[in-house]
Amino acid sequence: MTWNSKAMLVLILALLLVYGGNAQDSSATLVPAIITFGDSAVDVGNNDYIYTLYKANHPPYGRDFVNHKPTGRFCNGKLATDITADTLGFTTYPPAYLSPQASGKNLLIGANFASAASGYDDKTAILNHAISLSQQLEYYKEYQSKLAKIAGSKKAASIIKDALYLIGAGSSDFLQNYYVNPLLNKVYTPDQYSSFLVGIFSNSVKELYGLGARRIGVTSLPPLGCLPLTITLFGFHEGGCVSRINTDAQGFNKKINSAASQLQKQLPDLKIAIFDIFKPLYDIIKSPSNNGFAEARRGCCGTGTVETTSFLCNEYSKGTCSNASQYVFWDSVHPSEAANQVLADSLILQGISLIG
């Protein structure tokens, strides 16, 4: 845990005490469990157990993780959600639901249902042989039954109610579906596709609410136009980010914020926050040296320009950097652990309302 994260943890504890939160002692977690849905930004290894090209179960993924081994995370080390869990007091992470670790008492601290190359649109997952969001929600229902058997119905209900729910999706819908699918381009404008995705988001939140969720944090889209892969494929030798794609991302973010406000009004006791990851990531991309980074236009692994996920970022990749902390991106899409730290610091501040 960095100094910033420790300082924020102290701040959070103080705020919880002031506002009568449910914090236990200093060694307790601030929420009983973390339950996660989404894509590769939050997948901790579910794709290792399905037939798909999108896997991070081999070096150099995970080289800077605690055990220096690949875990299925699309990063050199920790994801932003891992760092958030650290800050909230967790000493172990909720397991990938399809992994052997997702059993017994391990389920008491939550589970991760995310799948790389999935999205709000189930067709995105189908196209990429990933676990669709609708299937992730079905797995969550299964998890609830398992939790009740392990903890008893009363304790399980308390965990479900007080858990922190995280949703991180949307990037794959655009990068691995909309922008590369000419049929979809003809049916929807980017604005219309955003509305379509946000409609699915709203329905998914309502379904989670019906299943007992009350604290839901959702990440916005990042600056998709600034990802090294996007610049390579769609930049046409532009000097910076692809502005039209960033505009699409910002349009989506505006819609999902509006939808969250409406859900807050419609659903009693719901606490929901949209975590803005666009601005903090955009800021370090535009001024890397001001934020302790040396490189923001290519990833650490291999060429850093086209390694979308696993099959081009591997132990045989030539040119992989020696110090990923100097890079904003680990591969051509996913932030490095160092960049994830910046995002996590922002997330925890934005999410105080969820844990108070």
Residue 252 DSSP class: H
Catalytic-role residue among 331, 332, 345, 346 = 331
The average confidence (pLDDT) of the chain is 90
Task: Kindly tell me the sign of the dihedral angle through the C-alpha atoms of 208, 209, 213, 218.
Answer: positive
Confidence of residue 352 (pLDDT cuts 50, 70, 90): confident
Residue 327 β-bridge partners: 295
- For the beta sheet containing 215-219, the strands, ordered from the edge strand earlier in sequence to the opposite edge, are 110-112, 34-38, 164-168, 215-219, 271-275
Give CA–CA dist 340/236, Å, rounded: 28
> Going by DSSP bridges, is the β-strand pair 110-112/164-168 parallel, antiparallel, or unpaired?
unpaired
Q: What is the pTM of this model?
A: 0.92
Per-residue confidence (pLDDT) for residue 308, from 0 to 100: 52
* Class of the CATH domain delimited by 3-229+241-291+338-355: alpha beta
Radius of gyration of the chain measured on its C-alpha atoms: 19
Average pLDDT over residues 139-162: 98
pLDDT in tens, 175-185: 999 999 999 99
Catalytic-role residue among 204, 332, 334, 345 = 334
332 has catalytic annotation: no
336 has catalytic annotation: no
Q: Where are the domains of the chain?
A: 3-229+241-291+338-355
Residue 292 DSSP class: T
Give CA–CA dist 117/309, Å, rounded: 9
40 has catalytic annotation: yes
Per-residue confidence (pLDDT) for residue 305, from 0 to 100: 63
Output the CA–CA distances (angstroms, integers) from residue 315 to 61, 203, 324, in the order listed: 9, 41, 15
